[in-house]
Structure 1
């Protein structure tokens, strides 16, 4: 059964959907394996921005499958964490930009999945949280690391230690999401944002993503060197020549060709 679906739309936008609504899109080993395989199929030549969402009206991803995890041994638990971490890291470092459209519960692994995307938009019905300590475990798919980096260590520790869920307005106020929309308009807004991203020079957009991601893992001097190299790599591309020539000639550029 296909638990992960990928649909390419016109204009370079693709939508990846976790499709297990009867279980609130909970992550188990099979879902994570399918997510890994789906990410490998994404071709930057045709996909310029990826939207990640969940099927149904209740959940983005409600978490990992507790029934599957309950009887894991220590070694099996570590292996399951590695499986999830490897796939979420693949999503985080995917060359094309990603937008999470969080349409409901994003708890545990669901919150971690959303945090692995570049930008997070959510519905006014969305709920975020890392409830793991209430289940006797820690977050295992990057939650402790990404949350601290996104919203600061103090707030992250409060949420991690208390296992407290937060609703959309608080998620916006602490910087966990970039915008909140009515649940009925969320996907339209996500597609609008993705379309705007996809409409820009794709090589330059991908270079921006790499510069931010790599730079955050380096000191400032090394990070600026990363930027310099990526800045230089954009020159002599067809997209750079097209856009700068159009600017000088006071006209709109021709459609970017990803080259």
Structure 2
């Protein structure tokens, strides 16, 4: 199945969901978010046991949200957009099967967050990962402040958010952001093998295992997301947000106050 900006292929219990905006480095805009939600629901309706999330082309997994679209947000608009992104995160976390992020390139901002929401992450050796929002005058708004701390230490999470560091695949693996790194041209074959093996497992036991594993992290999680959502949206309209996003769109270095 295909929409305008995503494609969904389902075979033998495995759904591959591809964000298909390679000319925009697969960045998220409202249409893509809507179609991504629809595709996840379709994969669930088709009883896929495994959902693989990736991006089209050789350059990007998902290079974040569409900054040109976001740059003039008011706080209420930003709050609504944060809620939409967090809904995708929630859909991935609650998908009744195993989700795998096949990170084939840039995974920044919202793209990093969507990968963190998956159960497993496999990175191409070309992958570069980071919560880069600080240089736009904002913070992660689609779950990053909470999701990072499921995988890395508090110190590492703070460094990634405060500095907006971009990690190559090797460093991301060393920090625990991805489970393994493979050669770029072997990524999809490797993920397909993983997905096929997982799809052969007993469905109910697999989902029960996922629910039990997720339960460890859920205490207080919703409260944390609420704090993050409000903090993220409240930054829209500030001088730093306006300057950071303007600089990005205009391809120059930001001049923050």
Range into which the TM-score falls when normalised by the shorter chain = 0.7 to 0.9
The one-character-per-residue Cα deviations of 1:69-119 (angstroms, maximum 9, x if unpaired) are: 000011111111011101211111111110100000000011001001000
Largest Rg, 1 or 2 = 1
Q: Give the CA deviation at 1:218.
A: 4.6
Is 2:44–2:95's contact at 8 Å kept on the other side of the alignment? Answer: no
Over 3 Å counting, the alpha-carbon distance change for 1:182 and 1:204 in structure 2 is same
For residues 46 and 57 of structure 1, the distance between their equivalents in structure 2, rounded to whole angstroms, comes to: 29
Are the counterparts in 1 of residues 44 and 96 from structure 2 also a CA contact under 8 Å? no
After superposition, residues 1-259 of structure 1 pair within 5 angstroms as: 2-9=4-11, 11-43=12-44, 46-218=47-219
| Correspondence for 1:229 | none
Preserved CA contact (<8 Å) 1:44 1:96:
no
Deviation for aligned residue 1:19: 0.5
Q: What are the superposed Cα offsets for residues 161-181 of structure 1, whole Å, 9 maximum, x if unpaired?
A: 001100000000011000100
TM-score (structure 2 length as normaliser)? 0.82
**Could you report, residue by residue, the CA deviation over 1:200-229 in whole angstroms, capped at 9, with x for unpaired residues?**
11111011001111233259xxxxxxxxxx
Q: Is the 8 A contact 1:44 1:95 kept in 2?
A: no
**Given the superposition, is the C-alpha separation of residues 45 and 80 from structure 1 closer, same or farther in structure 2, using an over 3 Å criterion?**
closer
Partner of 1:241: none
- Distance in 2 (alpha carbons) for counterparts of 1:215 and 1:175: 18
In structure 2, distance between residues paired with 1:48 and 1:58: 28
Return the offset for 1:18.
Answer: 0.5
Deviation string for 1:21-58 (max 9, x for gaps)?
01000001111111111111123664111111000000
Cα RMSD over matched residues? Answer: 1.3
Unaligned runs of 5+ in 1: 220-259
The count of corresponding residues between Structure 1 and Structure 2 is 218
| Aligned match of 2:247 | none
Give the TM-score taking structure 1 as reference length. Answer: 0.82
Higher relative contact order (CA 8 A, sep 6+): 2
> Which runs of 5 or more structure 2 residues have no equivalent in the other structure?
221-257
